[in-house]
C-alpha cells in the first residue's frame, strides 16, 4: 500500500507518539486560529431572512404602486474564503436574472412559472468579496424572488451591503420601481445611491426610544502608553461616567474629568438618564483614543447605544453583550443609531463553528491537551466551545427578532441529532473535567430538551429520523446517530444524576443492534429504512466506528451492576471481533469493512484502534489479540495517512446512505484534513500509547 500523499513532495510523519500528536495539533490550531465573533450593523427595513437562511423578497409588497413591466433590483456582496462555486435554491415567477461579479449566471425559465418548487442554481464565486445583483421584471404572476442556501446548516453565506455609504452592513440594498431596465446604470456609485437605493445610510447619533428614560453609550478608550487622560462629554441628559466598570464622575449638560490610565484598552460607558426626545450626546478625549472594539466592523461613529437599566451595561460592550447570561425575552440590544441594530456574525471558517465533526475534533484536542499536560491546547478547545455556547441566548434573541441568527445555525433550528449531540457532549466533557463554567446552563438545557424530548423516536424509544429533504432519509435510523446521542446522554446523566438518561442511552444501543447487527459478520449495516422495513446491510467503516466508539463511551461509566451491562459488553465484544477480522495486513480498515478492494479509510481505522485500546484497558478485550492490532493500526495511520506537516489524509467525506454497496465503495471519496478524521486520529494515538506505557 502506498501513502495517501505524494511522497515526492511530502514525507510521512516521524518521531515519537508525542511528537506526532503535536505535529497534528500544530497544523490544526495554526490553520484554525481563535477568532471573535464579528458585529455588524443591520437596518430593520432591509430584506428579512428566515430561519433556514432564505430571503423571500416580495417586491409587490415593497413597491405596491409598481405596474406590470416595471423593474426592481437587489444588490449585495458576500465573502468566500476560497475559490468555489456556490449552489443556491432559487425561485421566481417573474422574469429574474442573477449577475455575479458583473456576469449573468442564472435566469428564470419556463419551469419557474409553473412550479412552486425551488430549483438549484450554481453561482461562480471568487476568493474574497463577490457582488451579486438581482434584476426583477414584474409579470402577471408576481414581482420578486426567493433565494436561499442549498444546505443552510453547512453552506451558510451572509450577505452584506455593497455601496460605500453602508458597505459591509448586514443585508441587501434594493431599489425600484422603474419603467425601464436601468441596469447597469443602477450601479454607478454615490449619486445612484442617493437617488434610488434603500435602506438609507443610518446616522450614528444617539437614538430616541419612546418611553425609555435611560440609555448607555459604550465604547473603548485606547491608551498607547500609561497616561493622564481627560474625558469630556455633553448631553441634555444626566450623565454618569464608568471606566472599566468603575464610576468616575457625573454631570448634567457637561461632564469633564481627568484620570490616569494604564497602557491598553479600557471599557467606557456613559449612563444617560431622563433624556428628552432628540437628546444628543457627544464626547472627546485627550491622552487616549475613543474607538469601538475591533470585533465591531464597519460601524459609523465611535459609540454604541444600549437601552438598558442593567448594571452589567457599565462593564462595557464585551462583558455585557457576550459573556453575561440573561433570559432572551429580557435582553436589550445595542443600536448604532436610529433603527439600526448591532448583530453578531460568525465569520470564522472553522473556529467557533458548532457542528458534529468539530465535536470530534474537540474531543481529540481535550484528550491531547490532557495527555500532554498542555494548558494552551485545553484553553484553545475551551474557547472554541465557549464561542458557541456563550452567545447562545444572544443567538436565540436574534433568531426570534430577525428570523436568522447569523451564528450557531445548526442549533438555532435543530432537525437532527447531529445538529447538537456530538458537539454538546464535548461541552459537558470540558465542564466535567476542566472548566466548571455555569454559562453552559441555558445551552445544555436546550440541547437536552431536544435530544430527550423532541427528537423523533419509535415506539420502543429508539431514535430515528423522520424529516424529508435530507439525503432522502424519510423514516430512517442511522448508525451514526449512536455517537450523535449516547456520548451526550452519558455525560448529561453524570452532570444531573438522572439515571433514566443513562438507561435511555443503553436502550438506544440495544435497539440499534436489533435493527442493524448482521450476526454472521459481526458487523452493522449503515441504516435501517422503516419505509422499506429493511437494513441496507452495507457495513460502512465510519458508521460502524461511530457505534463501537459509542459503546466504549457508555462502558466507561455504566455500572457493572446495571441490568443491561452484560448485554452492552457482549455487543461491544461482538463488534470488536467483527472489526478485528477486517483489519488488513498493514493495519488499515476499509470504507466497506468486508471489502478490502474499497479504499483504506483513516477515521474508521482510528475508531477501531481507539476502541480496541479502551476495551483492553477496561479488561473487556484480551490484550494478546487486540494490542498488536491496535498498534499496527496507529502505525499505519502514521505511515500512510499523516504527513510531516500534520495533514491527515484518507478521511471519507460525509456520507448519505444507499442500499448499494458500490455507493460506499465508488461514490464516496477521501478528503484531506476533513474534521471527521483529525480528532479521532488524535484519540487513537493517545489511547494506544496509554496501553504501551502500561506494558
- Please give the backbone phi and psi of residue 249, each rounded to the nearest 5 degrees, phi first: -165, 170
Cβ 555 vs Cβ 572: under 8 Å: yes
Domain boundaries, the chain: 17-30+351-694, 46-195, 214-338
pLDDT digits (tens, 9 = 90+) for 406-447: 888 888 888 889 999 999 999 999 999 998 898 899 999 999
Residue range 62-77: mean pLDDT, rounded: 95
- Radius of gyration from C-alpha coordinates of the chain: 28
pLDDT at 36: 87
pLDDT digits (tens, 9 = 90+) for 252-301: 889 999 999 999 999 999 999 877 766 789 999 999 999 999 999 989 99
Is pLDDT above 60 for 331? no
Q: Which fold has domain 46-195?
A: Jelly Rolls (2.60.120)
- Please give the backbone phi and psi of residue 601, each rounded to the nearest 5 degrees, phi first: -125, 130
Could you list the beta-strand ranges (E) of 244-339.
Answer: 246-261, 264-273, 281-286, 289-291, 304-306, 334-337
Is-same-fold flag (46-195; 214-338)? yes
As a whole number of angstroms, the distance between CA 240 and CA 575 comes to: 67
As a whole number of angstroms, the distance between CA 482 and CA 505 comes to: 9
Pick the closest to residue 576 from 537, 623, 626, 539 (CA basis).
626
Split at pLDDT 50, 70, 90, the class of 330 is low
Split at pLDDT 50, 70, 90, the class of 45 is confident
Cell numbers given for 456: 423523533
Cβ 674 vs Cβ 623: under 8 Å: no
Split at pLDDT 50, 70, 90, the class of 12 is confident
pLDDT at 284: 93
pLDDT digits (tens, 9 = 90+) for 512-546: 999 999 999 999 999 999 999 999 999 999 999 99
pLDDT digits (tens, 9 = 90+) for 626-648: 999 999 999 999 999 999 999 99
Q: Which of 199-208, 349-358, 360-369, 616-625 has the weakest average pLDDT?
A: 199-208
Rounded to the nearest integer, the mean pLDDT of the chain is: 90
Residue range 49-65: mean pLDDT, rounded: 91
- Please give the backbone phi and psi of residue 628, each rounded to the nearest 5 degrees, phi first: -65, -40
Q: How many residues does the chain have?
A: 695
Cell numbers given for 286: 485627550
Cβ neighbours around 403 below 10 Å, total: 16
Residues 6+ apart with CB under 8 A from 233: 239, 241, 251, 254, 255, 256, 270, 281, 282, 283, 284
**H or E element at residue 21:** helix 17-31
With H, G, I as helix, E, B as strand and everything else as coil, classify residue 37: coil
With H, G, I as helix, E, B as strand and everything else as coil, classify residue 238: strand
Split at pLDDT 50, 70, 90, the class of 506 is very high
Cell numbers given for 289: 483614543
pLDDT at 65: 95
Q: How many helices (H) and strands (E) does the chain have?
A: 19, 29
With H, G, I as helix, E, B as strand and everything else as coil, classify residue 662: helix
Residue 200 carries which DSSP code? P
As a whole number of angstroms, the distance between CA 533 and CA 536 comes to: 10
**What global pTM score does this model have?**
0.91
As to burial, measured by CB atoms within 10 angstroms (0-12 exposed, 13-18 middle, 19+ buried), residue 495 is: middle
Residue range 67-80: mean pLDDT, rounded: 93
Q: Which fold has domain 214-338?
A: Jelly Rolls (2.60.120)
Architecture of the CATH domain 17-30+351-694: Alpha/alpha barrel (1.50)
- Quickly list DSSP for 208-252: --TT--EEEEEEEEEESSSEEEEEEEEEEEEEEEEETTEEEEEEE
pLDDT at 391: 87
pLDDT at 324: 53
Q: What angle do CA 246, 252, 254 make, to 5 degrees?
A: 85
Pick the closest to residue 667 from 540, 493, 487, 488 (CA basis).
540
Split at pLDDT 50, 70, 90, the class of 471 is very low
Residue 330 carries which DSSP code? G
Split at pLDDT 50, 70, 90, the class of 328 is very low
pLDDT at 380: 97
What is the residue whose three cell numbers read 409588497?
61
- Quickly list DSSP for 523-572: EE-SEEETTTTEE----BHHHHHHHHHHHHHHHTTS-TTSTTHHHHHHHH
224 to each of 118, 261, 270, how far by Cα in Å?
55, 10, 22
pLDDT at 473: 47
As a whole number of angstroms, the distance between CA 600 and CA 581 comes to: 15
Amino acid at each position: 500500500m502506498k501513502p495517501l500523499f505524494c511522497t515526492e513532495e511530502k514525507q510521512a510523519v516521524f518521531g515519537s507518539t508525542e511528537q506526532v500528536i503535536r505535529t497534528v495539533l500544530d497544523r490544526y490550531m495554526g490553520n484554525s486560529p481563535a477568532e471573535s465573533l464579528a458585529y455588524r450593523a443591520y437596518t430593520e427595513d432591509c430584506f428579512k431572512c428566515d430561519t433556514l437562511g432564505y430571503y423571500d423578497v416580495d417586491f409587490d409588497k415593497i413597491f405596491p404602486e409598481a405596474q406590470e413591466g416595471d423593474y426592481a433590483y437587489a444588490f449585495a456582496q458576500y465573502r468566500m474564503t476560497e475559490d468555489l462555486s456556490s449552489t443556491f435554491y432559487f425561485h421566481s415567477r417573474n422574469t429574474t436574472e442573477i449577475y455575479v461579479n458583473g456576469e449573468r449566471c442564472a435566469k428564470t425559465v419556463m419551469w419557474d412559472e409553473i412550479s412552486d418548487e425551488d430549483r438549484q442554481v450554481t453561482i461562480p464565486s471568487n476568493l474574497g468579496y463577490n457582488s451579486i445583483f438581482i434584476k426583477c421584471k414584474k409579470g402577471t404572476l408576481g414581482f420578486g424572488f426567493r433565494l436561499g442556501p442549498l444546505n443552510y446548516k453547512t453552506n451558510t453565506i451572509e450577505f452584506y451591503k455593497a455601496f460605500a455609504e453602508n458597505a459591509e452592513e448586514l443585508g441587501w440594498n434594493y431599489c425600484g420601481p422603474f419603467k425601464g431596465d436601468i441596469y447597469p446604470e443602477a450601479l454607478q456609485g454615490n449619486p445612484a445611491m442617493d437617488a434610488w437605493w434603500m435602506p438609507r445610510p443610518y446616522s450614528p447619533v444617539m437614538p430616541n426610544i419612546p418611553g425609555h428614560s435611560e440609555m448607555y453609550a459604550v465604547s473603548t478608550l485606547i491608551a498607547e502608553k500609561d497616561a493622564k487622560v481627560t474625558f469630556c462629554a455633553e448631553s441634555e441628559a444626566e450623565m454618569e461616567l464608568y471606566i472599566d466598570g468603575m464610576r468616575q464622575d457625573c454631570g448634567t449638560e457637561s461632564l469633564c474629568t481627568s484620570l490616569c490610565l494604564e497602557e491598553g484598552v479600557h471599557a467606557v460607558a456613559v449612563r444617560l438618564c431622563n433624556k428628552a426626545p432628540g437628546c444628543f450626546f457627544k464626547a472627546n478625549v485627550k491622552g487616549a483614543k475613543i474607538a469601538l472594539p475591533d470585533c465591531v466592523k464597519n460601524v459609523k461613529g465611535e459609540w454604541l447605544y444600549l437601552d438598558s437599566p442593567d448594571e452589567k451595561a457599565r462593564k462595557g460592550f464585551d462583558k455585557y453583550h457576550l459573556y453575561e447570561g440573561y433570559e432572551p425575552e429580557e435582553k436589550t440590544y445595542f443600536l448604532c443609531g436610529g433603527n439600526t441594530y448591532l448583530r453578531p456574525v460568525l465569520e470564522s471558517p472553522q473556529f467557533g463553528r458548532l457542528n458534529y465533526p468539530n465535536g470530534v475534533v474537540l474531543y481529540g484536542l481535550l484528550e491531547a491537551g490532557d495527555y500532554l499536560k498542555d494548558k494552551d491546547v485545553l484553553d484553545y478547545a475551551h474557547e472554541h466551545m465557549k464561542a458557541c455556547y456563550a452567545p447562545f441566548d444572544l443567538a436565540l434573541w436574534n433568531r426570534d427578532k430577525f428570523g436568522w441568527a447569523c451564528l450557531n445555525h445548526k442549533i438555532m433550528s435543530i432537525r437532527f441529532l447531529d445538529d447538537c449531540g456530538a458537539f454538546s457532549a464535548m461541552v459537558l466533557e470540558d465542564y466535567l473535567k476542566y472548566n466548571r463554567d455555569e454559562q453552559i446552563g441555558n445551552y445544555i438545557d436546550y440541547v437536552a430538551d431536544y435530544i430527550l424530548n423532541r427528537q423523533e423516536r419509535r415506539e420502543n424509544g429508539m431514535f430515528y429520523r423522520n424529516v424529508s429533504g435530507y439525503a432522502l432519509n424519510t423514516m430512517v435510523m442511522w448508525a451514526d446517530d449512536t455517537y450523535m446521542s449516547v456520548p451526550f446522554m452519558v455525560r448529561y446523566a453524570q452532570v444531573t444524576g438522572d439515571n433514566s438518561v443513562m438507561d435511555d442511552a443503553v436502550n438506544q444501543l440495544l435497539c440499534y443492534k436489533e435493527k442493524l447487527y448482521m450476526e454472521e459478520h459481526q458487523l452493522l449495516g449503515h441504516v435501517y429504512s422503516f419505509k422499506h422495513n429493511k437494513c441496507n446491510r452495507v457495513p460502512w467503516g465510519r458508521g460502524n466506528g461511530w457505534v463501537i466508539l459509542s459503546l466504549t463511551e457508555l462502558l466507561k461509566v455504566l455500572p457493572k451492576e446495571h441490568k443491561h451491562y452484560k448485554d452492552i459488553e457482549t455487543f461491544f465484544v461482538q463488534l470488536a471481533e467483527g472489526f478485528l477480522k477486517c483489519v488488513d495486513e498493514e493495519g488499515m480498515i476499509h470504507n466497506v469493512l468486508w471489502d478490502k478492494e474499497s479504499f483504506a479509510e483513516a477515521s474508521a481505522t482510528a475508531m477501531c484502534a481507539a476502541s480496541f485500546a479502551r476495551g483492553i484497558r477496561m479488561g473487556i478485550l484480551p490484550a494478546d489479540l487486540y494490542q498488536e492490532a491496535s498498534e499496527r493500526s496507529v502505525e499505519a495511520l502514521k505511515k500512510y495517512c499523516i504527513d510531516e506537516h500534520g495533514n491527515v489524509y484518507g478521511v471519507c467525506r460525509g456520507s448519505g446512505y444507499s442500499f448499494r454497496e458500490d455507493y460506499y465503495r465508488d461514490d464516496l471519496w477521501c478528503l484531506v484534513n476533513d474534521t471527521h478524521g483529525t480528532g479521532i486520529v488524535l484519540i487513537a494515538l493517545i489511547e494506544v500509547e496509554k496501553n504501551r506505557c502500561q506494558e
